[in-house]
A and B are shown apart, each in its own frame.
Chain A
Amino acid sequence: MATHPRRAAMKTETLHDFTSRSRAATADGEQRKKFRSAMDFLIGKRAAQFPDTAQWTALRESGQQIRQRALARLPDLLAQFEKKAQQNGMTVHWAETPQEANQIIHGILQQQQARTLIKGKSMVSEEIELNHYLQTHSIKALESDMGEFIVQLADEKPSHIIMPAIHKSKQEIATLFAAEIDDTAYTEDVDELIQIGRQALRRQFLNADAGLSGVNFAIAETGTLCLVENEGNGRLSTSVPRVHIAITGIEKMLENLADLPPLLTLLTRSATGQPITTYVNLISGPRRTDEQDGPEEVHIVLLDNGRSQAYADVQLRQTLQCIRCGACMNHCPVYTRIGGHAYGTTYPGPIGSIISPHLLGLEETRDLPSASTLCGACGDVCPVKIPIPELLLRLRVENVTRAGTKDHQEVMRGQGAKYRLSEKLAWQAWSLVNVKPALYLASRRSVTGLRHLIPSAKSWTQVRVMPKIAPQSLHELIKAHQEKKS
């Protein structure tokens, strides 16, 4: 697969710069304050939606079951979906890689002689870097979700999967709009800013040659796409232009329509704290002869991009249960400190740290599984009960385990990315000390055998004093105490 330059650049950056990016992010006091208050707001909104613990427990239990039931039959469901969607008059495309997905979409647009593409919100399109690809082929992709629109104007990437522009203050947006949108005066009035954005977007819809959207759920039994949104741009992107292209990861399948309501209620409550969004779109095919609106063609691109790797392992498969609500990000103390850009991946935060290694390989994402204190907040709030901390631990094992050794199962791309013989030997030495009482007792004096417990001086003493080893250990104190007693 030929890698285009920007992607290659991003990958290199991802590889080595998580540390420097997170350093820059934590040093930015303003940004940290913004994230703290934004995340606290979202945490509060979500909590208000789940006041009843028993109800929450039951609801997420059913969410987990629905997702696991669908994933257990994923190959069947994909086949069923394809057949049904085709019967409904939609065209189904399969893409293994981002490159393939981009080529498919480009091909459809070429057929339509499309010069402009209006886009509803789609993280998968971010994942394949569609906008950039189309730009290099002289097709203009216009984001119509307000957050995505802002991020695109600023030439940035989304910082959050639900709220792409959450990292921006109203002042920054005001400056951006005044500079980038014609005839726009600087205003910090939020309602006015929204109106300015909406007006700019409306002009685009009428002129776009094709529309593109993501997919929240795909229902195999009926060949239906489900999209949730608040702004109406998703509905416009999927119904005003003559052609609608939907792109989705292969994992978004559900068995039937009855599975949808529990997941929708979990999704919107977990994401934005809304009982339901303004729009829930169910799309089952192109415009029929007696219908007044809707596209004449509907295409669906089903993207793998590493998902089948996660699927192949029963434990890692749980990653694919994700319904992209972003609650794990909102509740993650690490995400709150560094924001989404620091991760360097399309999906940031805890879910990003477990999905990105499958999409990009562990070589590219080697720092992400350790970018968690394993505090467990993400697992607690996950509406479909993905055991995120457990999966992070699994990926840490994959990171340091070379192929062909125990605890290695041949599925992960980039396995052993963080393997270093010196580290392996250090842990062996550590374990030896901790299984031999005599060595343990002796090593406390020199501390060499316990060095993994002693943080490296430089990183630790930035904000803390170095811990002092007590003159007498508990082993010694208790021994003395017991001798005195007897």
Chain B
Amino acid sequence: MHSNSSIYLFGTCVVDLFFPQAGISALKILEREGIQVSYPQAQSCCGQPAYTSGYLDDARRVALAQIAAFPGEAPIVVLSGSCAGMMKHHYPTLFSGMPEETSVLQFSARIIEFTAYLVEVLNIQLQDLGPAESVALHTSCTARREMGTLHTGRELLRRLKHIDLKIHDHESECCGFGGTFSVRHPDISAAMVQDKTAALRQCGASKVVSADCGCLLNITGALQKQQGEPDHKVPFAGLHIAELIWQRTRGEPL
């Protein structure tokens, strides 16, 4: 039913650099659904780091470069919720009242977050070939609030038959990443991610998935650091939801 549909994939710079497997997994999932996926090599970053640091002109310049990299009308599927939020909701603010406003609005209307695309557009059915496993879901604040993708993430995990979705304490609370916040206020950020990882470990899951790679960078970084600590001998993995879906629907070991 979806064959011949064409979409663009926006990988995000964090996926590009740190989680390329998430991008490849997403690509393979989409192609398996018969979707033609274009990945413009000219794409880079959505501009959010400059935007949230107060450098609007630099953010605009980067935004315009992304807009130029994705011509036409095809939907743009974004692998991170907060980058999707930037492109969908903050680009229009950034160019409000400027000559580019109309074209920016057209671009922003094409943005869709990855899990929302799988559930709401493709209504994807997943055949879970993996063993029973407990997994927690972390939804980034921007994904949750701006993009409303909390339910689509949950729905995807529900469609994986052998996954037991675990709810962790203070699930809706920020992990403490906040882009440059984690660098500008490292102590507060550290306190937040330590509470987040403690809650994840306590909820009975053995891994956490997210559709937001900024949060993953933060959470997995903390989980790995804790690996050496006496209380945390058991590995606890963090990965992009696309990776989990691809692995389990291929029956590959986790």
Establish whether residues B176 and A373, one from each chain, have CB atoms under 8 Å apart when the complex forms: yes
Q: Can you list, as one digit per residue, whether each of B210-245 has a CB less than 8 Å from chain A (1) or not (0)?
A: 000000011001101100000000000000000000
Closest B residue by C-beta to A376:
B145
- B116-124, B129-137, B186-194 - the one binding chain A: B186-194
B142 within 8 A of A: yes
Establish whether residues A441 and B41, one from each chain, have CB atoms under 8 Å apart when the complex forms: yes
Establish whether residues A464 and B41, one from each chain, have CB atoms under 8 Å apart when the complex forms: no
Report the separation of the CA atoms of residues A477 and B190 in the bound assembly, to the nearest whole angstrom: 33
Closest A residue by C-beta to B79:
A474
Report the separation of the CA atoms of residues A430 and B58 in the bound assembly, to the nearest whole angstrom: 8
The answer to whether A370 and B180 touch (CB under 8 A), given A397-B54, A400-B54, A430-B58, is yes
Closest B residue by C-beta to A393:
B52
Q: How large is the interface on B (under 10, 10 to 19, 20 to 34, 35 or more residues)?
A: 35 or more
Establish whether residues B141 and A373, one from each chain, have CB atoms under 8 Å apart when the complex forms: yes
A481 within 8 A of B: yes
- A117-125, A263-271, A455-463 - the one binding chain B: A455-463
A22 within 8 A of B: yes
Establish whether residues B50 and A427, one from each chain, have CB atoms under 8 Å apart when the complex forms: yes
Residues of A whose CB lies within 8 Å of any CB of B are 19, 22-23, 26-27, 32, 333-334, 337-338, 367, 370-377, 380, 390, 393, 396-401, 406-407, 424, 427-428, 430-431, 433-435, 437, 440-441, 444, 447, 450, 452-453, 455-456, 459-470, 472-479, 481-482
Establish whether residues A460 and B182, one from each chain, have CB atoms under 8 Å apart when the complex forms: yes
Establish whether residues B56 and A450, one from each chain, have CB atoms under 8 Å apart when the complex forms: no
Closest B residue by C-beta to A441:
B41
The answer to whether A465 and B224 touch (CB under 8 A), given A333-B176, A375-B141, A397-B56, is yes
Establish whether residues A434 and B11, one from each chain, have CB atoms under 8 Å apart when the complex forms: no
Q: Can you list 28 A-B pairs, Cβ within 8 angstroms, ordered by A?
A: A22-B187, A32-B191, A337-B188, A373-B181, A373-B192, A374-B179, A375-B178, A376-B142, A393-B51, A393-B52, A400-B54, A406-B57, A431-B55, A434-B45, A434-B47, A434-B65, A435-B64, A437-B41, A437-B69, A452-B180, A459-B183, A460-B186, A463-B194, A465-B225, A468-B18, A475-B39, A478-B9, A478-B11
Report the separation of the CA atoms of residues A385 and B9 in the bound assembly, to the nearest whole angstrom: 35
User: Which residue from B173, B185, B218 sits with its C-beta under 8 Å from A19?
Assistant: B185
Establish whether residues B49 and A433, one from each chain, have CB atoms under 8 Å apart when the complex forms: no
Q: Which among A371, A447, A466, A478 has the highest number of chain B CB atoms within 10 Å?
A: A478
Establish whether residues A22 and B188, one from each chain, have CB atoms under 8 Å apart when the complex forms: yes
For residues 77 through 93 of chain B, which have their beta carbon under 8 Å from a beta carbon of chain A? 93
B76 within 8 A of A: no
B16 within 8 A of A: yes
Closest B residue by C-beta to A27:
B187
B62 within 8 A of A: yes
> Residues of B contacting A23 with CB < 8 Å?
187
> Residues of A contacting B180 with CB < 8 Å?
370, 452
A31: min CB distance to chain B, Å: 11
> Residues of B contacting A370 with CB < 8 Å?
180-181, 184-185
B14 within 8 A of A: yes
Looking at chain A's contact residues, the main secondary structure is helix
20 further A-B pairs in the complex, CB-CB below 8 A; given A370-B180, A430-B58, A431-B59:
A334-B185, A370-B185, A372-B178, A373-B179, A374-B52, A427-B55, A431-B47, A435-B65, A450-B13, A453-B49, A459-B183, A459-B186, A460-B186, A462-B186, A462-B187, A463-B225, A467-B217, A467-B221, A473-B17, A478-B27
The answer to whether A333 and B24 touch (CB under 8 A), given A26-B187, A437-B41, is no
Report the separation of the CA atoms of residues A476 and B20 in the bound assembly, to the nearest whole angstrom: 9
> Residues of B contacting A465 with CB < 8 Å?
221, 224-225
> Residues of A contacting B23 with CB < 8 Å?
474, 477-478
Establish whether residues A434 and B62, one from each chain, have CB atoms under 8 Å apart when the complex forms: yes
Q: Which among B47, B64, B182, B189 has the highest number of chain A CB atoms within 10 Å?
A: B189
Closest A residue by C-beta to B14:
A453
Closest A residue by C-beta to B15:
A474
Establish whether residues A473 and B20, one from each chain, have CB atoms under 8 Å apart when the complex forms: yes
Report the separation of the CA atoms of residues A376 and B180 in the bound assembly, to the nearest whole angstrom: 16
Establish whether residues B57 and A437, one from each chain, have CB atoms under 8 Å apart when the complex forms: no
Report the separation of the CA atoms of residues A15 and B202 in the bound assembly, to the nearest whole angstrom: 39
Establish whether residues B225 and A475, one from each chain, have CB atoms under 8 Å apart when the complex forms: no
Closest A residue by C-beta to B169:
A40
Report the separation of the CA atoms of residues A309 and B134 in the bound assembly, to the nearest whole angstrom: 53
> Residues of B contacting A466 with CB < 8 Å?
221
B5 within 8 A of A: no
Closest 8 CB pairs of A and B: A373-B178, A464-B221, A459-B186, A396-B54, A375-B141, A375-B174, A431-B58, A474-B23
Report the separation of the CA atoms of residues A476 and B41 in the bound assembly, to the nearest whole angstrom: 9
The answer to whether A460 and B183 touch (CB under 8 A), given A333-B176, A470-B19, is yes
Establish whether residues A474 and B49, one from each chain, have CB atoms under 8 Å apart when the complex forms: no
> Residues of B contacting A470 with CB < 8 Å?
17-21
> Residues of A contacting B221 with CB < 8 Å?
460, 464-467
Report the separation of the CA atoms of residues A407 and B187 in the bound assembly, to the nearest whole angstrom: 31
Report the separation of the CA atoms of residues A304 and B121 in the bound assembly, to the nearest whole angstrom: 53
Q: Which among A19, A371, A393, A464 has the highest number of chain B CB atoms within 10 Å?
A: A464
B55: min CB distance to chain A, Å: 4
The answer to whether A430 and B225 touch (CB under 8 A), given A462-B186, A477-B23, is no
B211: min CB distance to chain A, Å: 15
User: Which residue from B11, B62, B93, B186 sits with its C-beta under 8 Å from A474?
Assistant: B11
B32 within 8 A of A: no
The answer to whether A433 and B187 touch (CB under 8 A), given A376-B142, A453-B13, A464-B218, is no
Closest A residue by C-beta to B184:
A370
Establish whether residues A450 and B218, one from each chain, have CB atoms under 8 Å apart when the complex forms: no
> Residues of B contacting A479 with CB < 8 Å?
41
B177 within 8 A of A: yes
